[in-house]
Structure 1
């Protein structure tokens, strides 16, 4: 017999103390006999649709007198509490213990937790004042539990009874109320799914056009939209904005950044990318051991769903067969978006729906330059002519306009004129050389901090290298502030360093030029393969300043002996 819904969940988790594997977003508390197969089932199915992590407690499976540690952990981790206060809720000591603990967290961590009570065939005032079935239940509990416990439960019931929630009566359609609750939950946690994106002037037109392509008919049977164009044109920003607009239409979704960078990890690039995609889609930590295992998991657990997968910055090392397997077996309602600098990559992947964002218009270019050069939407009157010339040489490239504008901020006219002459000498297609003009204006210590971030510390907490930089007397606070003002780096909402891939590539190009043929003679080594080869072969010079090595995926074991020459 096939089990579905809450019955299947209850039957598959008969352990009295199931240990949560991941943090939960919603804790659903109810008395099973009252609502398990009705309202709770409706609500759980709605929450599961967009893969909202919901801890579904079944109080009938509990044993003993105390709440198990895993249950305490789930309550503490969950952001949203939904107690379904049915007529029999107070008869369960488990429900009352959970409610008291939820209220305690709401008061202790104000703002972190949200209580959304549902008064199911119960008047809120009867919950608040412990009348009717709640009064009878508490009288029974008082025969076994002490005054302090009963008082704590009554206090929790009074507090939740004072809250705004949903009052479900016999005249209400349970499905409609469950939809309302889901909408409220989704409005609270939707921001956790949305991507932070830099505002691109004039982006709405791009987003609308790509969104329309996603809706169109696909001849190949694999529904892929390709966004192509030169680096710095805004492909990633457009893809993120499209994702934010449409991801709610899909059961599962994934935005995978820096595919080109991940696949450059020669030994573990394929499995790393598979692990990231699987973890993002299933919203759980997965580390695949080999490519075939990754393809099997994707086929069985990803493809059956209606998914949105965005693969950002793809190059010719990417193939569907190696990473995802046979994508023709994915749900026909699913969609892929691929961004790349090289249109030929999309042709090799047989992508039929293509979009190439053009450069910014003259007016939008002038606005973007002015925002960074003057911190306003229009240029100063006496600099307007010069701004027109910078807009012309930037050729509508948003990244160039942002970096150049930031370089010109609060600088005298002579500086502007000198930089304009330099830029006019560089062909428009050579984006990195144009960005290097901003790098050249940095101080010596600022250059070192910039190169360290570009090679090693992207995606790392900004505090991590502070001690190292301080030991070199680099003044990291000032250096990082300068790099941010120059639009060469950003610090994201997680306090981690971020760089545009063109800026990152500029930094790594500068380090490679220290010795093009011999990585171990450079000041910084970020390739794991180069690092391991250098250490095993006893290479490396006293020029080496920063080394990144990860042995987690290596078969060879390194000892102190290999690092000894660098520790003296």
Structure 2
């Protein structure tokens, strides 16, 4: 039986084995040693009802063991909020080892956004591919979205606009996000835009347009800006600063490469999972860090790929990286892609061409006909930071996506001989 909480008069549910609860107590931090007296009455309650003494002893030992785990103490209920804030800060600090160097970017963009101001602001984040623009925008979005009446993060705008009906789909997503309805409830995009203007008029919203180009025609999407309420914020990310000039964005922030010490920290966080470099790899680690450049994407992918690999693989990777000039980001990433076993490389190409933004289970189902081990192969790509999962959907950085598609295109010049066709234009040319 589970001991009732101290002071509880609720009924006691039936158990499924005395040892089961000792294991639960060992796995959950339910109290500190000084607090164990609070369970004294519960232990006594079970003892009086004939629970096996060995079982009670295990419960008590488990409580004492849990009580020895260092942690924060809440001396009074008035301090509980403070303790929660400290815990959240500690967790974020632990997680942020995978976002090395991002905080100072976030702080500078936050100053431009100035969310306390009541005016409407559009802020642009620009820089070459792989510097972390989308990551910065997403980080800020998650930090401030609850300050707004409506929010929408339109990711990979450049990729979506290349698809048939892509702009309409983006408008539809914007409408759905801001109004909190599904696409099926929207009769047309124009109706949705009208609904936004009427229902969100004078309300504060947050919109992120990720990865735009100067050639984009975003007027249909940006047409709602004149209807937004005071305090609204729009964040635009782009590789080309001219895109910001075209849309008359005056508040800009350029994301450059990482500082040398940040590169080393980020690489080690992925290559050694935050632990100090082993003695036999310490020198190799420094040599690789000095070779891969200062873009977070390259650092993360190379470091993740080398995690738990042999010294021989490290040496081979270093030799291949040294052959590539520093500015050639995709060529450095190609070193890792070429080193992948055939099964991993095939699934990488499939995702790059077809499955970005698609449900992981759908892709795995399709792959299962070709290889029953596709799930474990995908996990390797995820652990290598080549593929990521967001809300159960497959995601890949656009530099890796473009690299994968270039591999397919370069193998054969004629579209009809390409192993994968991912656009209507390709399919049309292949049929000619």
Q: Structures share a fold, TM > 0.5? A: yes
Residue 285 in structure 1 maps to residue 177 in structure 2: no
SS at match of 2:354: helix
Q: Is the 8 A contact 1:359 1:398 kept in 2?
A: yes
- Label 1:379 to 1:215 Cα distance change in 2 as closer, same or farther (>3 A): same
- Label 1:198 to 1:517 Cα distance change in 2 as closer, same or farther (>3 A): farther
Of 214, 218, 239, the match for 1:341? 239
Residue 200 in structure 1 maps to residue 99 in structure 2: yes
Which residue of structure 2 aligns with residue 480 of structure 1?
A: 378
Q: Is the 8 A contact 1:271 1:294 kept in 2?
A: no
The separation in 1 between residues aligned to 2:349 and 2:123, in whole angstroms, is 35
* CA apart distance, 1:353: 1.0
SS at match of 2:181: coil
TM-score (norm 1): 0.55
Deviations 1:102-132 (A, max 9, x none): xxxxxxxxxxxxxxxxxxxxxxxxxxxxxxx
Deviations 1:444-474 (A, max 9, x none): 2221111111211222232323344333346
Which residue of structure 2 aligns with residue 443 of structure 1?
A: 341
- Label 1:290 to 1:514 Cα distance change in 2 as closer, same or farther (>3 A): farther
SS at match of 1:464: helix
Indicate the structure with greater helix content.
2
- Label 1:273 to 1:470 Cα distance change in 2 as closer, same or farther (>3 A): closer
- Label 1:302 to 1:421 Cα distance change in 2 as closer, same or farther (>3 A): farther
Of 414, 422, 432, the match for 1:526? 422
TM-score (norm 2): 0.70
Structure 1: any 5+ residue segments left out of the alignment? 1-182, 188-195, 541-568
The separation in 2 between residues aligned to 1:280 and 1:197, in whole angstroms, is 28
SS at match of 2:411: coil
Q: Is the 8 A contact 1:373 1:405 kept in 2?
A: yes
Specify the structure having the higher radius of gyration (Cα). Answer: 1
Q: Is the 8 A contact 2:106 2:140 kept in 1?
A: yes
* CA apart distance, 1:347: 1.4
The separation in 1 between residues aligned to 2:264 and 2:327, in whole angstroms, is 20
Residue 434 in structure 1 maps to residue 336 in structure 2: no
Of 295, 310, 315, the match for 1:417? 315
* CA apart distance, 1:240: 1.3
The separation in 1 between residues aligned to 2:192 and 2:425, in whole angstroms, is 22
The separation in 1 between residues aligned to 2:98 and 2:371, in whole angstroms, is 35
* CA apart distance, 1:217: 11
Of 259, 262, 279, the match for 2:157? 259
Which residue of structure 2 aligns with residue 209 of structure 1?
A: 108
RMSD: 2.9
Which residue of structure 2 aligns with residue 172 of structure 1?
A: none
Residue 455 in structure 1 maps to residue 353 in structure 2: yes
Which residue of structure 2 aligns with residue 508 of structure 1?
A: 405
The separation in 2 between residues aligned to 1:243 and 1:325, in whole angstroms, is 22
SS at match of 2:330: helix
SS at match of 2:243: helix
Q: Provide the aligned length of Structure 1 versus Structure 2.
A: 338
SS at match of 1:337: strand
The separation in 2 between residues aligned to 1:245 and 1:465, in whole angstroms, is 31
SS at match of 1:465: helix
* CA apart distance, 1:529: 4.8
Higher relative CO (CA 8 A, sep ≥ 6), structure 1 or 2?
2
